[in-house]
Amino acid sequence: MSQLKPGGMGSTSDPPNAKPGDFANSMADAMEHALNTLLSNDGMNTFKVDTNSQEARDRRRLFVAIAQGVVRHLKDNAGAMVIKDSLNNVLNEHIDIQVDGTLL
């Protein structure tokens, strides 16, 4: 079963020339990728993503915080989501949001 991965900062001792494992392929990583794409599309300077530099960590802190908040809110409020059939009738089904170990 798939899990949502909000992402984490990893450690400052993680290799400096790679994304920390807690960050890679996470919601926060997707946000960073989207920002880099938007910057590029507007002809602005982009940033290195395969790094664990202090600059990258400073930028990622915001993405991790947002992703953590979104996933925590979804998990804590799963009851607000309903499943409906094609006639718009609410089905009596439970939504269980699965998250990985990076959720704080």
Residue type, 104: L
Q: CB count, 10 Å around CB of 59?
A: 16
Strands 83-84, 90-91: pairing kind = antiparallel
How many domains does the chain divide into? 1
Average pLDDT over residues 16-34: 97
CA distance linking residue 62 with residue 64, whole number of Å: 5
Pairwise CA distance, residues 12 & 7, whole Å: 15
> What's the chain's average pLDDT?
96
Given a cut of 90, whether residue 1 has pLDDT beyond it is no
- pLDDT-based confidence at 5, cuts 50/70/90? very high
* Length of the chain, in residues: 104
What's the domain range around 102? 1-104
Q: How confident is the model at residue 33 (pLDDT cuts 50, 70, 90)?
A: very high
Mean local confidence (pLDDT), 91-103: 95
Q: Above 90 in pLDDT, residue 98?
A: yes
